[in-house]
Amino acid sequence: AQKITQTQPGMFVQEKEAVTLDCTYDTSDPSYGLFWYKQPSSGEMIFLIYQGSYDQQNATEGRYSLNFQKARKSANLVISASQLGDSAMYFCAMRVYQAGTALIFGKGTTLSVSS
Amino acid sequence: GAVVSQHPSWVICKSGTSVKIECRSLDFQATTMFWYRQFPKQSLMLMATSNEGSKATYEQGVEKDKFLINHASLTLSTLTVTSAHPEDSSFYICSAEGGQETQYFGPGTRLLVL
The tens digit of pLDDT for each residue in A48-102 reads 999 999 999 999 999 999 999 999 999 999 999 999 999 999 999 999 876 557 8
More confident residue, A24 or B97: A24
What percentage of chain A carries pLDDT values higher than 90? 87
Q: Is the CB of residue B111 less than 8 Å from the CB of residue B92? A: yes
Average pLDDT over residues B44-66: 91
Check residue A99 and give its pLDDT: 56
User: Residue A2: is its pLDDT beyond 90?
Assistant: no
CB nearest B44 (choices: A33, A101, A105): A105
Check residue A80 and give its pLDDT: 96
Q: Calculate the average pLDDT of chain B.
A: 92
pLDDT category of residue B1 using cuts at 50, 70 and 90: low
- Chain A contact present for B105, CB below 8 A: yes
**Segment B99-108, tens digit of pLDDT:** 666 788 999 9
Average pLDDT over residues B36-43: 92
Size of interface A-B (CB pairs under 8 A): 54
What percentage of chain B carries pLDDT values higher than 70? 96
The distance of B114 to chain A (nearest Cα, Å) reads: 21
Q: Is the CB of residue B96 less than 8 Å from the CB of residue B87? A: no
Average pLDDT over residues B30-58: 91
- Best probe of the A interface among B6, B105, B110, B111, by most A CBs < 10 A, is B105
Check residue A98 and give its pLDDT: 65
Q: Which residues contact A99 (CB under 8 A, 6 or more apart)?
A: A2, A29
Check residue A6 and give its pLDDT: 97
- Chain A contact present for B3, CB below 8 A: no
Check residue B2 and give its pLDDT: 79
- Chain B contact present for A102, CB below 8 A: yes
Average pLDDT over residues B28-38: 91
Check residue B54 and give its pLDDT: 84
